[in-house]
């Protein structure tokens, strides 16, 4: 088997006005993701996903990576990753390049599994896996905190047992929103909190008291990802596990976080951090530090499944994230939709990643190669000055 071609599909979705959500970056107008397809000369196609700037991903994959990989054995996944990493190291290592090569590597794992007629989780060392824990990622900023409580019940009704909410708006909002969601969950569910990078150490420590009282599962990214010292300082004042890693790349990035004892939960995302092998390596290193792996995902259902295989194969794999904000690339991209029951995402024995794309959905959302993205707030990237509307600074308020 030889690699015949490598292609990128940029997927783009614009929310209808009434479905847009508010978050720390403003109002989310669009969603985007990049699918990678590695086709072999025997007709098999491996699928991967990248969550980064799509135009950069297109350029790196089609102009530099694809010509180097064509004609090579796609099952030599580790060798090809090292080749891609070496080719992009000078401008890569963190950011779009390492994310892009991770998407190609994920597609190579899918091909390797198809060739071996074995699911990727089994190739990675998992045993007898039927499902992995998964949590609903949603509960964005809402002026009506009672609506957050109602939304929490919807996630429970859809089969989730854990859910992540966004705080970091103001002290009064944080406490009211947390109260609404944890009360609505009662004994049926547990809550993770995403701090949206909006705290100081003292403010975060104050919120930790509330999180401890309500049994929160983890406190994610209270600080900017570069501020490792703040994470270390909060660790000493928190019994709630601290989580981060959606903004980290490569084993070397996570090594810095783990050596510093900055986090309890490593959120390496296959589609951002550098691929399946890299996320597995982060998980192993985290285990050596007595920490857990709970991959971030946000972009699409291929990303969810790729990360789920890593959780399934990692002894310290804790749970995988599933966007529940009405993202069509989660809900409609796969011919067999994601299936969550009793808080567990089903994994199958199908070869490779076990994903088949709904090509009509891909065609409907495909954004032409080379065309600039429309201005908008893409949840993690913002284009155009009119969409640059970050939330006002955190207000301390009164408890």
Residues in contact with Mg ion by CB under 5 A are 194
**Least distance (Å) between residue 21 CB and Mg ion:** 14
Among all residues, whose Cβ is closest to Mg ion? 194
**Least distance (Å) between residue 80 CB and Mg ion:** 30
**Least distance (Å) between residue 115 CB and Mg ion:** 35
**Least distance (Å) between residue 159 CB and Mg ion:** 22
**Least distance (Å) between residue 327 CB and Mg ion:** 14
Q: Compare residues 166 and 291 and give the one whose CB is closer to Mg ion.
A: 166
Q: Compare residues 214 and 296 and give the one whose CB is closer to Mg ion.
A: 296
Give the Å distances, CA to CA, from 156 to 24, 26, 34, 197, 381.
25, 27, 30, 27, 30
**Least distance (Å) between residue 249 CB and Mg ion:** 15
Q: Compare residues 95 and 225 and give the one whose CB is closer to Mg ion.
A: 225
Q: Compare residues 115 and 327 and give the one whose CB is closer to Mg ion.
A: 327
**Least distance (Å) between residue 296 CB and Mg ion:** 6
Q: Compare residues 190 and 194 and give the one whose CB is closer to Mg ion.
A: 194
Q: Compare residues 114 and 198 and give the one whose CB is closer to Mg ion.
A: 198
Q: Compare residues 194 and 210 and give the one whose CB is closer to Mg ion.
A: 194
């Amino acid at each position: 088997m030889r690699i015949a071609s490598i292609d990128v599909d940029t997927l783009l979705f614009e929310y209808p006005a009434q479905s847009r959500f508010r978050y720390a970056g403003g109002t989310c107008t669009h969603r985007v993701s990049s699918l990678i397809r590695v086709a072999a000369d025997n007709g098999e196609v491996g699928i991967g996903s990248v969550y980064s700037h799509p135009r950069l991903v297109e350029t790196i994959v089609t102009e530099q990576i694809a010509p180097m990989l064509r004609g090579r054995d796609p099952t030599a996944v580790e060798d090809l990753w090292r080749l891609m990493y070496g080719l992009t190291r000078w401008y890569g290592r963190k950011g779009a390049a390492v994310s892009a090569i991770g998407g190609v590597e994920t597609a190579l794992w899918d091909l390797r599994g198809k060739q071996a007629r074995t699911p990727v989780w089994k190739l990675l060392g998992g045993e007898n896996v039927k499902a992995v824990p998964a949590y609903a990622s949603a509960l964005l900023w809402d002026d009506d905190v009672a609506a957050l409580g109602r939304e929490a019940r919807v996630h429970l009704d859809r089969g989730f047992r854990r859910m992540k909410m966004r705080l970091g708006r103001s002290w009064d909002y944080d406490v009211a929103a947390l109260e609404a969601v944890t009360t609505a969950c009662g004994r049926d569910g547990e809550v993770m909190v995403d701090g949206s990078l909006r705290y100081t150490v003292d403010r975060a420590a104050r919120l930790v008291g509330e999180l401890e009282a309500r049994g929160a599962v983890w406190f994610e990214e209270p600080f900017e990802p570069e501020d490792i010292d703040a994470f270390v300082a909060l660790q000493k004042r928190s019994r709630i596990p601290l989580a981060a890693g959606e903004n980290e790349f490569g084993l070397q990035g996570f090594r810095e976080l783990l050596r510093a004892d900055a986090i309890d939960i490593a959120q390496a995302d296959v589609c951002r951090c550098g691929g399946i092998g890299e996320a597995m390596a982060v998980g192993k290193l985290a285990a050596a530090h007595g920490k857990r792996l709970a991959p971030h995902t946000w972009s699409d259902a291929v990303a969810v499944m790729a990360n789920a295989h890593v959780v399934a194969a990692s002894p310290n794999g804790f749970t995988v994230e599933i966007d529940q904000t009405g993202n069509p690339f989660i809900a409609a991209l796969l011919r067999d939709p994601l299936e969550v029951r009793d808080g567990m995402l089903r994994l199958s024995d199908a070869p490779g990643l076990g994903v088949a794309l709904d090509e009509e959905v891909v065609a409907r959302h495909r954004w032409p190669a080379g065309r600039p993205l429309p201005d908008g707030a893409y949840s993690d990237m913002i284009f155009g000055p009119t969409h640059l509307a970050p939330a006002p600074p955190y207000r301390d308020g009164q408890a």
